[in-house]
């Protein structure tokens, strides 16, 4: 019966998926260049931006300021307004494993993120940029997508003005949300008014068909010019 008694020494406490993979999956060799090539692919960068948009809330960023948005200052962001552009900045601690027929890799990756975001307080839209360090898992197997999974991450950090300027995004200065709403409302009202005026002009300019003789008449006429019937 003593053989059925388990003690704490019989257990290993694994706190993350990264720990599970490294303990139970056989390791394999991988060049860092190969991992970097995969992490720089469009599909992986798009997924990194999507996850950042879905998960990051209230963090510090560099914010484009000045009349042309070419200067930066630090500020607190509430949320990305859309998935930010992600650029691979650095990669380290690369480990590769073989699980079944597939090769997988874990790595610590720092991304540079940039895009439009809501400034804390909810009154301004800004162009923001930050660095975001993550521990990721992705596939190395040929013929499959990378299937990027972010295992854990650190809080985003502001980036310098020089790094901000290298982001492949349109950098706009801060925009007041009330002013943006007013501009959109004015645009809609103007567009509708122009379309309505054009429609009225078309109605006034249309020829009138006589139902008696099928003749098209001037819209200002009250009688058909052929059969003299009323229009």
Per-residue model confidence as pLDDT tens digits over 93-126: 998 887 667 788 899 999 999 999 999 887 889 9
Q: Which residues pair with 149 in a beta bridge?
A: 137
Same structural domain, 98 and 196: no
- 112 shares its domain with 17: yes
pTM value surpassing 0.85: no
The answer, yes or no, to whether residue 84 has pLDDT greater than 70, is yes
Query: What percentage of residues in the chain have a pLDDT greater than 70?
Result: 68
CA proximity to 157, closest of 59, 87, 83: 59
* 134 — pLDDT class (breaks 50, 70, 90): very high
Residues 128 and 210 in one domain: no
Asked if pLDDT for residue 152 goes beyond 80, the answer is: yes
Structure-block tokens of residue 226: 């052929």
Mean pLDDT rounded to a whole number for the chain: 79
Instruction: Verify that 155 and 225 share a domain, yes or no.
Output: no
Q: Are 148 and 111 in contact (CB under 8 A)?
A: no
Q: Is 83 left (phi over 0), alpha (psi -120 to 50) or beta?
A: beta
pLDDT in tens, 29-82: 677 888 899 999 999 999 999 999 999 999 999 999 876 667 889 999 999 999
CB count within 10 Å of CB 10 equals 7
Same domain for 165 and 225?
no
The pLDDT of residue 10 is above 50: no
2 part of a folded domain: no
Q: Is residue 136 domain-shared with residue 224, that is, in the same domain? A: no
The domain of 226 spans 177-231
- The pLDDT of residue 13: 46
Residue 26 lies in a domain: yes
Residues 91 and 188 reside in one and the same domain: no
Does position 215 have pLDDT exceeding 80, yes or no? Answer: no
Domain edge (last residue) among 173, 194, 209? 173
**163 plus 207 within the same structural domain:** no
- Mark whether 139 and 208 lie in a shared domain: no
The number of domains in the chain is 2
- Mean pLDDT, residues 133-145 taken together: 81
Decide if 4 is inside a domain. Answer: no
Q: Would you say residue 3 lies in a domain? A: no
């Amino acid at each position: 019966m003593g053989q059925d008694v388990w003690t704490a020494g019989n257990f290993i406490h694994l706190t993350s998926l990264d720990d599970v993979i490294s303990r139970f999956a056989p390791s394999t060799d991988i060049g860092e260049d190969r991992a970097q090539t995969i992490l720089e692919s469009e599909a992986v960068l798009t997924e990194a931006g999507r996850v950042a948009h879905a998960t990051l809330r209230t963090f510090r960023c560099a914010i484009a300021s000045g009349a042309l948005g070419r200067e930066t200052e630090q500020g607190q962001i509430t949320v990305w307004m859309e998935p930010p552009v992600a650029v691979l900045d650095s990669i380290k601690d690369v480990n590769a494993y073989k699980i079944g027929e597939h090769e997988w890799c874990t790595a610590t990756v720092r991304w540079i993120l940039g895009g439009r975001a809501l400034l804390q307080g909810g009154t301004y839209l800004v162009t923001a940029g930050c660095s975001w360090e993550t521990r990721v898992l992705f596939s190395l197997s040929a013929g499959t997508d990378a299937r990027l999974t972010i295992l854990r991450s650190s809080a985003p950090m502001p980036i310098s003005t020089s790094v901000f300027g290298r982001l492949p995004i349109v950098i706009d200065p801060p925009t007041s949300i009330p002013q943006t709403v007013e501009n959109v409302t004015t645009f809609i009202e103007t567009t509708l008014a122009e379309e309505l005026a054009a429609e009225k002009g078309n109605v006034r300019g249309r020829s009138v068909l006589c139902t008696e003789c099928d003749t098209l008449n001037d819209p200002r006429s009250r009688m058909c010019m052929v059969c003299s019937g009323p229009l």
